[in-house]
């Protein structure tokens, strides 16, 4: 079988290692579709996996990369034929199943979606898991019955991958967007994406009160921890918060006050195992609504060989927007 280049995480007595090396195609895991990968992305979870900062990887050796796009090479799945352009996000790829930071991937066809019409493979990975998650969060707020007429929407972690796309999508949908960030130097960037107000992260980082002053009708939170608790405490009556990240911690030091005294809803966003119908709905909406010039503004592209060196910077909050990995 042919060999291909891939980043590989392994673990031995000396600890976890990460290296770009040749992998034999025979070592790919089971699946009914083999894809020649053209682009992948770097997400927060990839950073955790590649550095070993959290036990994201469940088997070794592992090829990281929780999303990718590419062209079908072989398929026994009824929905896909050789030459089809496809996108994958989630399903444990890069955690329990060999991932997308490689020239080849073999997966279950049920995990794939066709590349949406109007999106290039590079644009699909500029969106990637982060942008797809942001779209799921916005759809959840809409299904809850919230509209821009209800008041502002807050986006936390706004200069990151999820946050950048969430700001742009919310602005396009007509919301007055408040962008919360710990990086004051990114204010102009966030205004270009559509933020009407910039909120310093310190305003959300203190010890949470059961209830604070009502400030926003909706929120998309990619941070978690104390930030999410403070966001909930300042959400208006009848509002909702879509929670989709844990960069600030897995805990939630909140109280029941926002829920029982203001009727605030906490909407959990699971982007990993989303069924096909809502998954395709989100991608179709992204292809329709996301401004391509703004997408380019928030995206940096690096070659496969440089992907490994970006993980620490990603976790340190030193990466703006989205990082696309060009595999070819």
Domains present along the chain, CATH in parentheses = 3-115+298-326 (3.90.180.10), 129-268 (3.40.50.720)
Calpha distance 98→94 (Å, rounded): 5
Q: Write down the pLDDT at residue 182.
A: 87
Burial of 269: CB neighbours in 10 Å, binned 0-12, 13-18, 19+:
buried
Q: What angle do CA 5, 63, 41 make, to 5 degrees?
A: 85
Residue 1 has pLDDT above 60, yes or no: no
| pLDDT tens digits, one per residue of 103-151 | 999 999 999 999 999 999 999 999 999 999 999 999 999 999 999 999 9
H-only helix segments in the chain: 44-51, 121-143, 161-172, 187-193, 225-233, 257-261, 276-289, 292-297, 311-315
Adjacency order of strands within the sheet including 216-221 = 197-200, 177-181, 153-155, 216-221, 235-243, 265-268
Of 257, 177, 158, 180, the C-alpha closest to 212 is 257
The pTM score is 0.94
Which residue carries 């910039």 as its tokens?
198
Tell me the per-residue pLDDT of 176-204, one tens digit each, with 9 for 90 and over: 999 999 888 899 999 999 999 999 989 99
Is the backbone peptide bond immediately before 171 cis, with ω within 30 degrees of 0? no
Binned at pLDDT 50, 70 and 90, residue 171 comes out as: very high
Q: How far apart are CA 20 and CA 9, in angstroms?
A: 9
pLDDT tens digits, 5-28: 999 999 988 889 999 999 999 999
Contact between 108 and 277 under an 8 Å Cβ cutoff? The reply is: no
Instruction: Give the pLDDT confidence of 207-234 residue by residue, as tens digits.
Output: 999 999 999 999 999 999 999 999 999 9
Question: In angstroms, what is the C-alpha Rg of the chain?
Answer: 20
The β-bridge partners of 102 are 6
């Amino acid at each position: 079988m042919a060999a291909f280049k891939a980043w590989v995480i392994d673990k031995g007595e000396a600890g976890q290692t990460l290296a770009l090396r040749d992998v034999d195609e025979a070592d790919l895991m089971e699946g009914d579709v083999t894809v020649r990968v053209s682009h992948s992305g770097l997400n927060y979870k990839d950073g955790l996996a590649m550095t070993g900062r959290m036990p994201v990887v469940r088997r070794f050796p592992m090829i990281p990369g929780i999303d990718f796009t590419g062209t079908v090479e072989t398929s026994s799945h009824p929905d896909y034929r050789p030459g089809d352009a496809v996108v994958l996000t989630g399903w444990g790829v890069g955690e329990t199943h060999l991932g997308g930071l490689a020239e080849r991937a073999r997966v279950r066809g049920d995990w794939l979606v066709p590349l949406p019409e109007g999106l290039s493979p590079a644009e699909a990975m500029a969106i990637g898991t982060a942008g797809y998650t942001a779209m799921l969060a916005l759809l959840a707020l809409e299904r809850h019955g919230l509209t821009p007429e209800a008041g502002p929407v807050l986006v936390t972690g706004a200069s990151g991958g999820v946050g950048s796309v969430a700001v742009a999508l919310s602005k396009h949908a007509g919301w007055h967007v408040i962008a919360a960030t710990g990086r004051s130097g990114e204010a102009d960037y966030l205004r270009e994406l559509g933020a009407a107000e910039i909120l310093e992260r310190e305003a959300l980082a203190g010890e949470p009160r059961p209830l604070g002053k009502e400030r926003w009708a909706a929120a998309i939170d990619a941070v978690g921890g104390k930030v999410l608790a403070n966001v909930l405490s300042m959400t208006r009556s009848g509002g909702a918060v879509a929670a989709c990240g844990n960069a600030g911690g897995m805990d939630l030091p909140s109280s029941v006050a926002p829920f029982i005294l203001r009727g605030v809803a906490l909407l959990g966003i699971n982007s990993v195992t989303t069924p096909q119908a809502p998954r395709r709905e989100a991608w179709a909406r992204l292809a329709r609504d996301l401004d391509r010039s703004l997408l380019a503004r928030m995206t940096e592209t690096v070659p496969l060989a440089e992907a490994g060196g970006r993980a620490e910077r990603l976790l340190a909050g030193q990466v703006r927007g989205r990082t696309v990995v060009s595999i070819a």
